[in-house]
Amino acid sequence: MKGMRRKGRRMIFKKISRIFSKSEQIRETVPYHLAEQIIREAMRRGTQSINIKCWPKETFFAGKNNLADLVEEEPDSPIRFRQRNYVLGISLRGNGKDRPYISLPAGLFMPLLNILASEKIAYKGKRCLALYREPSQQTIDQYLDLTLYWEEDSSISIDFEEIK
């Protein structure tokens, strides 16, 4: 009987340790760092809403020289643009206006969306996204309550609020 209990405890411990190591591995990915940086920039600019949408290049990069040429489609990307004159743009929404922030290769869309939608931890009875202190990435700096919305214009908005 004791051997069975020990084996059961070891199995539970292995499952827990795999979950923690998986979350640490995810925290080290480009999409996770990108999600953190986008949210930090939105907070720095005083907005609490981020919008992801396909934009015509000339609209998203209005007044900026040749930046549209820097965003290239990856040949092995699972998501591609049918019309090459569109970009996947992230804008920060404030005062009812979208302010273009960054454009992404289409291949980063699903991993970024997955992190924003599901990489959450429990804090004060809520499922939230943790922002880690930048130099160490070991200590949690802030907890954010994130909600994703599918908008009428087919864009995705991410609203967030810090949990104190």
The pLDDT tens digits for 3-55 are: 555 555 555 555 544 444 444 566 678 888 889 899 999 999 988 899 999 88
Strands (DSSP E) along 7-155, which ranges?
49-56, 86-94, 97-104, 121-123, 126-132, 140-150
Predicted TM-score of the model (pTM): 0.71
Angle at Cα 59 formed by Cα 88 and Cα 106, nearest 5°?
10
For residue 74, give the 3-state DSSP assignment: coil
CATH number for the domain running over 30-163: 3.30.450
pLDDT over 90 (residue 149): yes
Q: How far apart are CA 61 and CA 11, in angstroms?
A: 53
Which residue type does 51 have?
N
Residue 158 is predicted with a pLDDT of 93
